[in-house]
């Protein structure tokens, strides 16, 4: 994705990894491949490989406003123990170098906003230094929705009490709690406002407290959607929730409301895992919707 301008705001994408990730019927258990093949002219090969694996990206966004620099979602992270997901386990990626090429140092970030607290959206919240997990962005306030934090804190605590493996790949312990302990976290309502025109809105279903970040400036708008949509393939049938959604029915309802609101408008969506060029708009297509790249 090239640098995107939304009115007076600037958006840059920082990619940790990208490529064919997993079979589409693994990510979307309800997928109907006949419907996918019927619209393969726009789905393949950009969003779905020849062997039916979804093309996915793990990335952050930096939203630069006249007042703040907001880093949105922080990928998987380096050195994180994720044995259940080999491609993530103790990963070594040049994420901070990529961030620097986009023009940002960790010290430049004013806010870190996690749309939700899954392991692949919180990883670079912290980095390993001298055997300890410490906040990667030393001057930033880390913004977590209170509902989301409470859900994962309870799940983490109860798993420990039962002697069970920590949920969510153990990411709460190494990527969230150290931020809390450092005093850099703000637990906020789902309508938190960073500044005029830049605010959170609740988007429930994928997790207990998922939020979208809305950015509006000079009559233009963008929405950072997290995992409401994992892939443009879901536009074929908005009921196809991912296997990672806590409440698939609620996630589908949230997805439907979002798509109906932005379809055939100028609003740009910036999803958590869409591959390059990533930014785009929802457009009507046949009896449903399709994806149109921006930039």
Q: What is the pLDDT of residue 2?
A: 87
Q: What is the pLDDT of residue 1?
A: 75
135 - beta bridge partners?
Answer: 126
Q: Which of 196, 192, 230, 194 is nearest to 211 (CA)?
A: 192
Complete DSSP assignment for 165-232: PPSGGGHIIIIIHHHHHTT-EEEE-TT-EEETTEEEEE-TTSSTT-EEEEEEETTEEEEEEETS-S-G
pTM: 0.96
Q: What is the pLDDT of residue 281?
A: 98
- Give the pLDDT band (50/70/90) at residue 175: very high
Per cent of the chain over pLDDT 90 is 98
Q: What is the pLDDT of residue 53?
A: 98
d(C-alpha 54, C-alpha 27), whole Å: 8
Read off the pLDDT of residues 62-91 as tens digits, 9 standing for 90 and up: 999 999 999 999 999 999 999 999 999 999
- Give the pLDDT band (50/70/90) at residue 23: very high
Q: What is the pLDDT of residue 45?
A: 95
Q: What is the pLDDT of residue 287?
A: 84
**Which domain CATH number covers 47?**
3.60.15.10
User: How many domains does the chain contain in total?
Assistant: 1
Grouping H, G, I as helix, E, B as strand and the rest as coil, residue 240 is coil
12 - beta bridge partners?
Answer: 62
Read off the pLDDT of residues 191-228 as tens digits, 9 standing for 90 and up: 999 999 999 999 999 999 999 999 999 999 999 999 99
| Mean pLDDT, all residues of the chain | 97
Q: What is the pLDDT of residue 253?
A: 98
Domain span including residue 68: 4-293
């Amino acid at each position: 994705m090239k640098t995107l301008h939304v009115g007076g705001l600037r958006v840059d994408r920082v990619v940790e990894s990208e490529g064919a990730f997993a079979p589409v019927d693994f990510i979307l258990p309800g997928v109907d491949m006949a419907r996918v093949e019927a619209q393969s002219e726009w789905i393949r090969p950009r969003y779905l490989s020849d062997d039916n694996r979804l093309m996915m990206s793990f990335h952050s966004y930096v939203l630069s406003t006249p007042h703040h620099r907001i880093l949105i979602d922080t990928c998987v992270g380096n050195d994180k123990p994720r044995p259940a997901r080999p491609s993530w386990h103790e990963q070594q990626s040049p994420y901070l170098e990529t961030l620097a090429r986009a023009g940002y140092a960790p010290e430049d970030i004013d806010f870190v906003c996690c749309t939700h607290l899954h392991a692949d959206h919180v990883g670079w919240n912290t980095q390993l230094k001298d055997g300890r997990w410490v906040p990667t962005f030393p001057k930033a306030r880390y913004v977590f929705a209170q509902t989301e934090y409470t859900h994962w804190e309870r799940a983490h605590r109860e798993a420990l009490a039962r002697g069970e493996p920590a949920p969510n790949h153990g990411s709460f312990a190494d990527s969230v709690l150290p931020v809390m302990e450092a005093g850099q976290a703000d637990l906020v309502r789902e309508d938190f406002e960073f500044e005029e025109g830049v605010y959170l809105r609740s988007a429930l279903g994928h997790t207990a407290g998922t939020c979208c970040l809305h950015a509006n400036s000079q009559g233009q708008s963008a929405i950072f959607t997290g995992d409401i949509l994992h892939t443009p393939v879901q536009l074929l049938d908005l009921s196809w929730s991912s296997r990672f959604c806590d409440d698939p029915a609620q996630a589908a309802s949230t997805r439907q409301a979002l798509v109906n609101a932005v379809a055939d408008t100028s609003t740009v969506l910036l999803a958590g895992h869409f591959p390059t060029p990533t930014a785009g708009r929802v457009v009507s297509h046949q009896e449903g919707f399709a994806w149109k790249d921006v930039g």
